[in-house]
A and B are shown apart, each in its own frame.
Chain A
Amino acid sequence: GQQVMQIPQYQHVQEGEDFTTYCNSSTTLSNIQWYKQRPGGHPVFLIQLVKSGEVKKQKRLTFQFGEAKKNSSLHITATQTTDVGTYFCGTSNTGKLIFGQGTTLQVKP
Chain B
Amino acid sequence: ETGVTQSPTHLIKTRGQQVTLRCSSQSGHNTVSWYQQALGQGPQFIFQYYREEENGRGNFPPRFSGLQFPNYSSELNVNALELDDSALYLCASSLEGGLYQETQYFGPGTRLLVL
Chain A residues in the interface with B (C-beta under 8 A): 6, 30-31, 33, 35, 41-45, 48, 50, 88, 90, 92, 94-102
- Write the chain A residue with the least CB distance to B108: A42
Whether the pair B42, A48 counts as a contact (CB closer than 8 A) is: no
- Contact between chains at B105 and A95 (CB < 8 Å): no
Specify which chain A residues have a CB less than 8 angstroms from the CB of B31 in the assembled complex. 95
Q: Which residues of A contact B90 (CB under 8 A)?
A: 42-43
**Interface pairs (20), CB distance under 8 Å:** A6-B42, A35-B106, A42-B106, A44-B106, A45-B103, A90-B42, A92-B98, A94-B56, A94-B97, A95-B48, A95-B98, A95-B99, A96-B33, A96-B56, A97-B33, A97-B43, A97-B92, A97-B104, A98-B45, A100-B42
Name the residue on B nearest A50 (C-beta): B101
Q: Which of A33, A90, A94, A95 has the most CB of B within 10 A?
A: A95
**Cross-chain contact A33 with B56 (CB below 8 angstroms):** no
In the bound complex, how far is the Cα of B100 from the Cα of A50, in angstroms?
11
Contacts between the two chains (Cβ within 8 Å), count: 64
Given A42-B106, A42-B108, A48-B101, residue A95 in contact with residue B42 (CB < 8 A): no
Map CB proximity to A onto B26-51 as digits: 1 under 8 Å, 0 otherwise: 00000101010000011111001010
Residues 43-90 (chain B) with a chain A CB within 8 angstroms: 43-45, 48, 50, 55-56, 58, 88, 90
Q: Which residues of B contact A96 (CB under 8 A)?
A: 33, 45, 48, 56, 58, 98
CB nearest to B31 among chain A residues: A95
Top 10 A-B pairs, shortest CB-CB distance: A95-B98, A99-B42, A42-B106, A96-B45, A42-B109, A95-B97, A92-B101, A43-B106, A31-B101, A102-B42
- Residues of chain B lying within 8 A (CB to CB) of residue A35: 106
List A contacts of B105 (CB < 8 A).
45
Q: A30-B101, A43-B90, A92-B98 are in contact. Are A97 and B108 (CB under 8 A)?
A: no
A30, B98: Cα distance in complex, Å: 13
